[in-house]
Structure 1
Amino acid sequence: MVILFIVLSSIEAFLFLWVAINPLWLPSLHRYTNRSYKKKTVSVLVPLRNESKNVPGLIATLRNVKYDELEFILLDDQSSDDTKSLLMEHTCRDSRFTIIEGKHLPEGWNGKVHACHHLSKYSNNEVMFFIDADVRIEPNTIHHTLALMENQYASMVSGFPTYLDNKLVQFLVTMQHFVIHLHLPLFFANYTKRQATTAACGQFIAINRTTYNKIGGHEAIYNSLVEDVELGRLVKKHGDRVILANITKLVSCFMYGTIQEAWEGFTKNIFIGIGRSKIGAIGLSIFYALFYISPLLLAVYAVFNLQWMFLLPLVLTVLQKGIVDIRTRTSPFYSLGMPLSAAMLIGVLWTSMYKAITGKAYVWKGRSYQ
């Protein structure tokens, strides 16, 4: 038991140092405020499918955006709720907004990818911002993003928003930030052209029009369920730079309303995101079970046997999640549930792998994907 404790504590301490150091190469979007950059024309493009609950908040945040050369193009992707009528109601008397209707989804296309492709055809501006309907941006987000792109010579900028408090769902949703901080070597992601270390988040992507056209746009990844990462890889493949930034002070998101929605949403992405590798899925499951669930069992042993030193591995796992939560404007309360978050992550991964192996379809927003 003592040997297990020493080994586990040593590895946990190393992982804590890693998640503390790795973000040194993750630029903070809000810090880029150079006002002397060349002003560019901007299009903010938003696909919406059955997003009636998000329309009022989305339009309110977009109306407050401070930028002169700006247009908003919103696509109603064949919604069966009140999305379209709400869009018309909330955007009236503001000439910056254009509402378009989505087309029938061609066979083999991912729904969101097709919507973004359709949106891109309506924009002729120099920079396109693709955001989701549940995203809220601060008024100066455009300025900061363009300053970062110019300062870092980047053709594409993306990042994971801060996820607004939604109780149980938050234990799973905020693991997105933790996975990036733990598993992605951010120096290689942001300062090399290595496609294998590319990360992006489709909730917020800014990309130069010339680069987008050069890589073939969303049409080049028409059937991808991880289109954000694939788009970034294409940008790197064509010799341009992709920056993953900490955008949490400027961009927030109401990602999922229920644990069922979160489970379905992550199920369609997670196994595909690791290249459909069964060995990778098993390896990750063992890793999270050993280093993020077993410390809880050791802590239980410590309490019942009054051997308090055995609490150290659990403390270190909580500190790992806590430091990421603080950086990403998440309540540190959720770091206390790190074993639960790890168990949920494993559960989603195995659900995703099971569906892929058995040929069951991934279902999202009323559409099925293999």
Structure 2
Amino acid sequence: MLNLRALRRPSHDPAEIGERVTVLLPVRNEADRVAPGLASLLDQIRVPDLEILVIDDGSTDGTAEVVRQTAAGDPRVRLIEAGEPTAGWLGKPHACATGAQAATGSVLVFVDADVRFAPHALAAAVDLLRTSQLQLVSPYPRQLTVSAGERLVQPLLQWSWLTTLPLNLAERSPKPSLSAANGQFLVVDADAYRNSGGHSAQSVRGAVLEDIALLRAVKAAGGKGGVVDGTQLAVCRMYGDWPQLSNGYAKSLWSAFGSKAGAGAVVAGLGVVYLVPPVAALTGSLTGLSGYLAGVLGRYLVAERTGGRSLPDAFAHPASIAVFGWLVARSVNARSRGQLTWRGRPIGAAVVDPTGPAQGR
């Protein structure tokens, strides 16, 4: 509840931005969903000096042609070929670094292809970056959920950092464990980005959760920043079905807690706090019932603030935690067996930051 009060909200009526803004959109085989997001970027208002760099990360499905058709010759859009990442790099950080080298804006905005933006989104996000005197802000988009699996798992994204991370302290603290960001929509001062090494930094270039790694790099270089409320600025449906969702989390959850022991400790802790009480409540324990309802209340309040489904979904919070624990175990197991791939590339050389839990996409 304290975090919901502290969460920064961008302006609904931002002033016109008087500096050059560069949007960087890395894409890999996104032909079926890049057009709406790119179109929404082209419809931005109050950003008169806008540059949009679409970085094609080796797509083989005609993504580049869809980008050209959607841009329709708009001079603000430029398509860049990233090429194959070299040893020590993962594809997305490599594509982002390639785009950043060509960027000319004083503000860099990293976005994903599956995000749709409100017309004032960029102006509001840049305005918040400047008025808050932060070097990085990550407006967390409203997460769209349709299937039962999505409704169980996706709300945990915002719930996790709103429940566990003291936001006011996290913005100012250089501690790596006090970091949350989302690569779906991430806004950073260009000088701060370059001073930190950006996506080329050793700790970022091979990170599966490159958004968290980038924020940590900016903080290590003396910057400040973190998540803000992006509910009214952007929406995103990350996964269309259960196989996509489970595979998506499998590629990243193994790296979110620093080690197998860290992952086990987090899952065990969540089980004690959110699974034991409802089980006790079933035996007639009033203490267990109180604990269960406290968890439901937290989930409900987060959903109400972030545009998610609050009821009846909040009552299924223990089931969400149980599914999350299974996803973590699946990810750790697949990692140990060397079975992880993403977008047709193996995940084998990525780095793990052992400095603490991370909350990102």
Scaled by the length of structure 2, the TM-score of the pair is 0.89
| Residue 84 (structure 2) pairs with residue 104 (structure 1) | yes
Match of 1:366 in 2: 344
What do residues 320-343 of structure 1 show as CA deviations (whole Å, max 9, x unaligned)? 111111111101132122112101
Alignment of 1:65-214 (within 5 A): 65-66=44-45, 67-168=47-148, 169-214=150-195
Quote the Cα distance in structure 1 between the aligned partners of 2:257 and 2:166.
15
What do residues 66-123 of structure 1 show as CA deviations (whole Å, max 9, x unaligned)? 1201011112221121312211111113221112223122122111001111111221
Match of 2:334 in 1: 355
| Residue 255 (structure 2) pairs with residue 294 (structure 1) | no
Quote the Cα distance in structure 2 between the aligned partners of 1:150 and 1:59.
24
1:188–1:194 contact (8 Å) kept in structure 2: no
Alignment of 1:3-14 (within 5 A): none
Aligned-pair identity in percent equals 27
1:158–1:200 contact (8 Å) kept in structure 2: yes
User: Could you say what the CA RMSD is over the residues aligned between the two structures, in angstroms?
Assistant: 2.0
* Shift of residue 166, structure 1, vs aligned partner: 2.1
2:23–2:53 contact (8 Å) kept in structure 1: yes
- Matching residue's letter, 2:303: D
Match of 1:61 in 2: 40
Residue of structure 2 aligned with 1:335, choices 314, 337, 347: 314
| Residue 31 (structure 2) pairs with residue 52 (structure 1) | yes
Aligned pair count reads 343
What do residues 236-287 of structure 1 show as CA deviations (whole Å, max 9, x unaligned)? 11111113211111111111112222222222222312112x3322222222
| Residue 306 (structure 2) pairs with residue 325 (structure 1) | no
Quote the Cα distance in structure 1 between the aligned partners of 2:341 and 2:278.
34
- Partner SS state of residue 121, structure 1: helix
* Shift of residue 312, structure 1, vs aligned partner: 3.6
Match of 2:263 in 1: 281
Quote the Cα distance in structure 2 between the aligned partners of 1:30 and 1:179.
25
Q: Which has the higher helix share?
A: 1
| Residue 231 (structure 2) pairs with residue 248 (structure 1) | yes
Scaled by the length of structure 1, the TM-score of the pair is 0.87
- Matching residue's letter, 2:247: E
| Residue 6 (structure 2) pairs with residue 25 (structure 1) | yes
* Shift of residue 309, structure 1, vs aligned partner: 8.2
| Residue 206 (structure 2) pairs with residue 226 (structure 1) | no
1:163–1:170 contact (8 Å) kept in structure 2: no
- Matching residue's letter, 1:327: R
1:30–1:250 contact (8 Å) kept in structure 2: no
Greater Cα radius of gyration, structure 1 or 2:
1
* Shift of residue 59, structure 1, vs aligned partner: 2.3
Quote the Cα distance in structure 2 between the aligned partners of 1:284 and 1:310.
21
What do residues 289-323 of structure 1 show as CA deviations (whole Å, max 9, x unaligned)? 22222333344445xxxx88864433222111111
Gaps of 5+ in 1: 1-19
* Shift of residue 160, structure 1, vs aligned partner: 2.3
